[in-house]
Each structure stands twice: as structure tokens, then as C-alpha cells.
Amino acid sequence: MLLLLAWLLLLAVGPWPPAGADTTPGPAVPPAGRPLFGPGLDWAEDSAAAYQERLGLAPSLYEQRVAYPLDPESTTFLEQMVEQVAPQGAVALLSLEPSVALGDLDQADAAALAETLSRLHAEHGTTFLLRFAPEMNGTWYSWGQQPRAYVSAFRELAGVVHASAPEARLVWSPVYGAGYPYGAAYGDVDPDRTRDVTALDTDADGRLDGDDDPYGPYWPGAEAVDWVGLTLFHFGIDRGREDNALDPSSGGTPGEDERSIGFETDVAPRAGAFRARMVEQFGYDGTRRREPFYERFAEAYERPLLVETGAVWLPDAAGDPELRIKRAWWRQVLAADEEYPLLRGISWLEQRRPEAEVQGRTVDWRATRLPRLATAFAEDLTGEVTLGPVTSAPTGDQPGAAAERDGDIAPAVRPDPAAGGLVAAWWALTVMLLLALLVSRLRPGWSWPGHDAPDTTGRDERLDVLRGILLVVLVAAHLEALTATSGPVSRLMGVTTGPEAFVLLSGVVLAMGHGPLVARVGALSAAGRWWRRGAALWFTAVATTLVVLGVSYLPGARTSGVTTWAATGAGVDLYTGAASLLEYPPPWPAVRDLFLLGTGPWPLAMLGLLVVLSLAAPAVLWLLGRGLWWLALLLSWGLFTWGTVTAPDWTVGQYESAYPPLVWQVVFVHGLVLGHHRTVLARAWASPAGRAGFLASVVALATALTVAWTAPGGPALLLHLWGGDALGAGRLLSVLLVGLVAVAVLSAAWTPVRRGVARVLVPVGRAGLLVLVLHVLLLVVVDTVATGTGTTAPGAWWATVVLPTVALVLLVVLAPGLVRRTVAR
């Protein structure tokens, strides 16, 4: 009950004119032959200074994805980006990604954006290119294929920006039309969406198919558009697709019968491959002549053209070498302005991320991933593009001036609120530890009854409580991702995140049970037990995948919420080709993807990681049993370094991109070491010197974070170490210290905890695996109900308040029954 009240309190607090004359120059338009150039960085893991250092050149633009309308978090990220690019005098290319329905955007949202851009321009001299809802003709974004709503929203934004923020220019930027209308073959985030077929059916044949115009219905008009843009990637040779027409009259079921044979990847582009796209010849069947995008929109309206591009390279895949693939492509792009003089901007995707076009595998787009790549890229860029500075970077005497270009990660002129949340969380952790020490001294009778005292079932109930907390938070976080919101849970995870804690706790529990198990059955049988545990996790993941596939065929059921990962904006269909599993015999690629966990609901992606770790655990436990804990840690950190640097992608498993085993094993191994030495740690905690040392360490870290937060460049450094998707040093440190503090608090106040929240959390923690499975089905039910009632708009009160609360209540009600009916895990 206490937990539910705290959750409700958090929910209550919640997450943190016509166009006038335009006479002020906006972003610099370079002369023909010298387009602006820059990267689209993963700003959570990279920085402008780091990119400039790798490339050896200063780009003239940088791209960042920004949630729109602006909220405190997206405003902070925007400010940090500007503070980084301003010293290099680069244009800020902002891809504005709607976080609400297009029809819910209004002039107030546009005015808030324009005001922010004007302020940042005044402080830093930065100018902006605004790609509003890019790739709107695709199916992989929530704003896709809604032409009337899109055109209306674009015009409204353009009117306000043109009148109030002349330092910004609007970019209309669809994706290249081959494969249109795309569908599930390219990753449809919402196959059940009702499309505006009337507006999209440009040839008036009553269906939406490849004969319809992929661009025209989305054109907002020349008065609203300052630049035109086009997304043009080299994936490889497209081997075709089956039934990609998004039309019920064709006999297929949208989202289920649209399948892609896929691309032949890691193949260098042929000569003229980029030009083939510019003349609208690549990827079409050749039966219909299409007027090229460049002629229709750039030449016809005399608008500069911005191209977002990159070349696919799949790590560790057979095929042409990475340098050959990427250099062949970027040389064609860089030479294109000779024939297409209105090509005035090039944005190269400098990220590593999964892509639906290659069955959800992780693609490394980066042209500066390795020094030899960066050197070759810099040589080809020199003399072909406009490099920075192109805007008026403020000097050191101006207000808000950025630091000199001396390699600082991110010049800062004010304490950053996102990093401030991290600092506040660490001080709160310090206070919790102090309270635990005080309680253990004033109320010794409340303490945990012994260093290793289990309950009558052989379980450590403290760990069950922690697992229960993690499961509750996990379900709430997945509901936030399902509804595309950024609510209380996402803001509470600045100190550590659920995945690390799950992996660490798994290692601790496994090590605690290993010694007694070996004493009973022997080392070999104990190893077999852990391997069977991995097999059970694998079977659970496969079975759940098939259950979700079966549910997708029920009338009215909506499963795309768990079969498509779209929380980050880039929709990836995780069930590509899964429908063919129902064929007889099922094709081997589909079976292979199922068995290797390449197909499955995203909420269970971590099970694949736990399968791999369970198989490797006996080897680590063997080292620990012989006192070689130092060797286990040394090997673990060596693998972590190798995995971080090389980022291998060996299988089709979803966990490869979300939780790379070589990287994440370091958390699991530390959990094994902690669990194996739990008695030593308990004795250290019981001693005054041990408690004082632990407290001093936590206080010292909180103090260091506070100093860094207020120092120039410090906030960005903190967010780099603690934020993003990669497992950084800050997150590793956090999960270890937070885990120790959590156990200390539970040990000091165990009696009131056992009488209170433990009654709710222990059953949840003990039914962990079954709760994980059922919460996937719960997400399907919630998404189906929300869709049927029309309450799926991101940020809606119903989605952000009622859904998490209902999920928590269901967990609390169902967990005791689950424990009684299943074997405690």
C-alpha cells in the first residue's frame, strides 16, 4: 500500500499567426559545389568535440533529433547541442519528432519553439534548419502517412517560425519513394492505423500501392518550405518483398501479410547507385515513369536540397569490407553536386542502431568508427564540402559564450537540470544510507537476523523484495514506452536503471545458491542445473513469442505495441517474417530467427542475455570456488573492453543490440563475485570501519558529482557517463553502489519492511519469470483496449496515469496466486 501511495504521488506530480515578411538571413546557404556537411550523432554517446577530433575537420552542420513540442527534457538536450556546435560555428539541423498526434500540435507549441530558437541564436549565434516530422511518407514513425494532418501541422509551424524566428528555416524531408507504401516490410509501427486512403490514392484506383505518388500528398506548399530534403540510404541489393500493398481489398492483412525477402547487405554500391536514386530509377519495377524528386521540388521551386544518407555495414557479416562499402557510397554522394547544383546539405548518419530493413539487426553507419575510416573520409571531404565555421560563434566576452575549441566535451553556461537530477538522486542515496546507519543504531531489533540468514524456504527475502521492486518499475517503464510517454519512471532512473539491477541481482542470487547446491549434488550436476536454467529461459522466450504471434490473429487484437520497437522514434519490426512460421513446413530463416531469439516481443529482450549468461556462469563460479575472483574480474573487464571497442554482432538475437553479451557480462560477473563473497561483505558492513568507509565513499561521489555539475563542461560529461543506451562507467558504478545501499537499508529496517511492503513485493519477486511473461500479455491487452477506446495519444492523462496504476494493481493482486501455482524461482 505504501508503494502504491508513493506511485500515485509521483503520477500526480507528473513529468517534469500568419507568416510575415522574412528579411533576416537564416542558415547559410553555401554556393553550388560546396554543400554544408555534418553528422547525425547519437548525442547520448557522442559529442561535437569528439567527432571533430576523430574526423580532424570541423563540420558545418550537426543533426539532432528533438521531441516536439518542447518539454523540459528536450529543451535541455537542445541547449546542450547548441552549446557544443556553437564553438565550431556550425548550423544546427533539428529533426523535430512529434511526441503527440499531429492534430494536437498548435500555435502555442510552435511559438514556444520559436522563442527558444531565438534565445539560443541571441546567446550563441547559431542558426537552425528544422526538419519537421521527417520521413512522413513512411510507416515506421507514429506521424507517418497522414498527409492532411501533416500538411496542416507543417504550415502552422512554418507560419510561426517565419514570423518569429528568422534564424531558422523549415525543411520538408520525405524518404526516397522506392518500396512505397512500405508497410511492415520496412517496419510498420502501427499496422492498424486507419490511413487517409483518399488523399494517398493519387491514381484513383481505389487502393494504396506502389503506383501511387510517394511525395505529392505530403507537399505543404512553396510558401511554407525553405529547403527540401530527402533520406537516401544505401542498404544493399533489395531482393524484393511479398504483398506490400496496404490495401484490405488485396486480400492481405495489413501488418501481417506484408513481408520482405530483405536486402543483400554488406555489398558495395554499384557505379551510379546514388544517381539512380536522384532520377527515381533505383528500386522501382520500371513499369511506370516517375518524375524525379529533385526536378519536382528542388528545381521547380528553386529550393536547396538537403540529403540525409549513410551506407549499411553489419559488423561481423560476410561481404565487402567496411571501408569499400562506405567510401564507394560517400564518394558518389560528394560528387553529386556537379550534376545537381541545388544539393546544398549532406547529413551522414553517424550512429549504430537496429534497422527494420535488415531484419532488425544492428547497423553501424559511422564513417569515423575507426581511424582508417575517418582518415579516408576526411581526405574525400576536403575540397568537396563547406566546413565550419559558417555562423557567428560568440566570443569569450559575450554572454553565454562557449569555451574555446580545445576538446571540451560540452561548454556549459548554466547548471544543467537533467544532470542536476542525477546529482540530487545521489544525495538522496546518501541520505538513505545515513538513515540506515541511524536506524541500525537506534533500533537494533529491526535488523536482518543474520549475515546469511535465509527464510524457511531457503530464500533471502531481501533479494525477493528488491526483485519485486524492479518488476514493478519494469512494468511501469514498459507501459510508458508503449504509450510513447516520458513519465515519472523514466525520470527516476537517473542513478541506475532496471536492466543493470536485474542482471546484477541474477548474478548475486545464482552465486548464493551455488555453494549449497555443489555440497548436495556436486560441481558437475550444479553446472548442469544452471545450464537447464538457461534452457528454461530460452524456452520461455520462444514460447511467449509464439503465443504473441497467435494472439495477433485474434479479431480486434493489437500486438504491434510489443512486436515493434518504436520508443526511440526509429520503428523496428521485431516480428518480420514471423507469419511464415505458420506455414508447413516453416522456412528455415524464420525458424532460425525464432530459435536464436531474433523474433520476439521487445519487453522480453533481456531473456536472451540471461540465457547466454546462464550458460557461461559455471565457468566463472569454478574460478570463484578456487579463490581466483581477481582473474574472473580481469577476464570480465577484458571482454567488456573488447565488446565496447569492437561492438561485434554475432547473431540475429534481439539482445545483441539491446544488451551486447560481451559488454553486459561485466555486471553479471560482479554480481557473482558479490554473491560469492556475501559473508565477507556482511562482516565488513557490521564493523564500524566498514560502515564509515562505505559512507565516506558515497559522500565523496555525491560531492564530486555536485562539483562537476557546476563546472564548465561538467553536466554534459555527467550525462555522457550516466545517460544513453550504452553501458558507461557511471552506470556500472551506480548499479554496484545502489545495490549495496539498498541491501543496507533493508537490513537495517527489515522488521517494518517485512511487516509492510514485503508482503506485496516478496510474492512478486518470487514469481519473477511468470510475471515477466504475463506482463507482455498485459501490455497487449492494454494496447488493444486503448486503441479500441481511442485513448492512445501520447501524453494523454488516461495513458500516463491510469495504465501504470492498473498494471501495478494487477501485479499486486495476481502475484500471490502466481507463487502458489508455480515453482518459486
Whole-angstrom CA distances from 350 to 46, 85, 171, 241, 818 are 9, 16, 20, 28, 46
Compute the distance between CA of residue 624 and CA of residue 75 in angstroms, rounded to an integer.
Answer: 48
Give rounded-to-5 percent helix, strand, coil for the chain. Answer: 55, 10, 35
**Helical residues (DSSP H) of 88-172, grouped into ranges:** 107-124, 147-164
Digit-coded pLDDT (tens) for 469-528: 888 888 877 776 665 555 555 545 444 467 888 899 999 999 988 888 888 888 888 888
Contact 356, 312 (CB under 8 A): no
Compute the distance between CA of residue 753 and CA of residue 759 in angstroms, rounded to an integer.
Answer: 9
pLDDT band at 823 (very low <50, low <70, confident <90, very high): very low
CB atoms closer than 10 angstroms to residue 407: 12
Compute the distance between CA of residue 247 and CA of residue 264 in angstroms, rounded to an integer.
Answer: 27
Digit-coded pLDDT (tens) for 126-163: 999 999 999 988 888 888 888 999 999 999 999 999 99
Extract the C-alpha cell encoding 431: 541520505
- 232 beta partners: 309
Residue burial 701-724, b: 16+ Cβ < 10 Å; e: rest: bbeebbebbeeebbbbbbbbbbbe
Digit-coded pLDDT (tens) for 397-411: 333 333 332 322 222
Compute the distance between CA of residue 194 and CA of residue 642 in angstroms, rounded to an integer.
Answer: 47
Digit-coded pLDDT (tens) for 568-621: 444 566 787 788 888 888 888 889 889 988 889 988 888 999 999 999 999 999
- Indicate whether 432 pLDDT > 70: yes
Whole-angstrom CA distances from 40 to 60, 81, 335, 607 are 12, 12, 20, 31
pTM score, whole prediction: 0.65
CA nearest 412: which of 712, 166, 44? 712
